[in-house]
Amino acid sequence: MKRRSIVTLSSSAIRCKKSDFMVVSVRQISNGGKRSKKKIYHRDYQLDKVMDLQKKPSLILQLRSIIQSQNHQRLLLRDLEKEVGFVAKWNFMSIIEKYPSIFRVGGGCGKEFPFVTLTGKAEKVAREEGEARNLMEPILVKNLRKLLMLSIDCRVPLEKVEFIGNELGLPHDFKKSLIFKYPEYFSIKVINGRAYLNLENWDSSLAVTAREEIFARERMLQSAGGQNKVRITKDGNYLGPFAFKMCYAAGFRPNKSYLEELEKWHKMEFPSPYLNARRFEVADPKTRKRVVAVLHELLSLTMEKRMISAKLDAFHSEYRLPSKLVLCLIKHHGIFYITNKGARSTVFLKEAYDGSNLVDKCPILMFNDKFVALSGRHVTL
């Protein structure tokens, strides 16, 4: 008798300030009827907080981009609604009023309509974006190549690349500034009426995951410290070539049997995410662990090591992601975290964060931090 699992995340439970966890409802449906099982999914307040902290910085950066795209780099206040919509307009008006160190309002006298532009100090910092973009270019080229190498046929629909362009840090004109600039790496091919970004050549030196790079560094540090005995720790971490970094929520306390099973899972070998997924049986435990590695690597390729869950879900066919993707993410809650804070649910790579702070930032994120700091507040993106 086959059973189908349906996973439901309770967004109201996530937003409940009095609870350290949310309830995940898993309904087992069979011919005999329905049976609900409830599992505890521990909240991570620090990662929930990230979504709140990035709201105002996002508005500041979006308004800066809109202003810089205008003629003479000034935006008529009457045109703000056309750019962002009636409802969002008031949020941006509040930002303009609140941060005079970044935005200057002029006009309004005589025949001149009121406008907003950047202050002199903000313009000076904004000019540094070009240098940040130049530093980002080799990073983006490398990450795009790895993104294609992870896929089954070394190609991804162009529309899907555009779909996650913001997460990857791609410029709006990436087809011209990156794809066409590097024909030795990329090409755009139309297959069955659909445009695909295609990988032109395979580079084995890039077929190394972020997880493997971290393990190599930690092994070197362990050797330098003279520590040879490897065992699983109480927080679920284990130093081994097939292990993953675990970052459990503060309210989660793994017991002895859980740690024993986790150690077996850490030690289990699995194929590289860069090997073609068609070669492996879906039901094989090693293949299922490989899927975790694919998700880990996909999130590692994003600027902020997080992605809206709907965007991650869009890559099922290209990366052979599980049909029960949310259930997979919940099961491996020491590696991934799903939050419903914000307009849409977001998946975090937990090890990339120290509390609410992203540990490693790319040049464009460091530039964004510098620009937002003009507001006079320490704001974490």
- Asked if residue 36 has pLDDT above 60, the reply is no
Distances in whole angstroms, Cα of residue 270 to Cα of each of 217, 239, 338 = 20, 16, 25
- Asked if residue 289 has pLDDT above 50, the reply is yes
Mean pLDDT of 48-55: 92
Torsion angle defined by CA atoms of residues 128, 131, 133 and 134, in that order, rounded to the nearest 10 degrees = 170
Mean pLDDT of 53-80: 94
- Asked if residue 34 has pLDDT above 90, the reply is no
Mean pLDDT of 38-43: 74
State percent of the chain over pLDDT 70.
86
Reported as a single tens digit per residue, the pLDDT across 100-158 is: 999 999 987 767 889 999 999 999 999 999 999 999 999 999 999 999 999 999 999 99
Q: Note the pLDDT of residue 81.
A: 93
Fold of 47-121: Arc Repressor Mutant, subunit A (1.10.10)
Q: Note the pLDDT of residue 6.
A: 38
Mean pLDDT of 290-300: 97
Averaged pLDDT score across all residues of the chain:
87
As given in the structure block, the two tokens for residue 166 are 């913001």
Angle between helix axes 86-98 and 55-68 (nearest 10 degrees) is 100
Non-local (6+) Cβ contacts of 202 within 8 A are 149, 154
Non-local (6+) Cβ contacts of 156 within 8 A are 147, 148, 196, 197, 315, 318
Output the pTM of the full model. 0.87
To the question of domain 129-204 being in CATH 3.90.550, the answer is no
Reported as a single tens digit per residue, the pLDDT across 70-103 is: 988 999 999 999 999 999 999 999 999 999 999 9
Taking the domains of the chain in order of start, what are their residue ranges? 47-121, 129-204, 205-358
Non-local (6+) Cβ contacts of 151 within 8 A are 318, 319
Q: Where is pLDDT greater, at 292 or 235?
A: 292
Distances in whole angstroms, Cα of residue 350 to Cα of each of 87, 249, 311 = 33, 10, 18
Say yes or no: do domains 47-121 and 129-204 share a fold: no
Confidence of residue 38 (pLDDT cuts 50, 70, 90): low
Angstrom distance (rounded) from CA 46 to CA 356? 5
Angstrom distance (rounded) from CA 50 to CA 62? 18
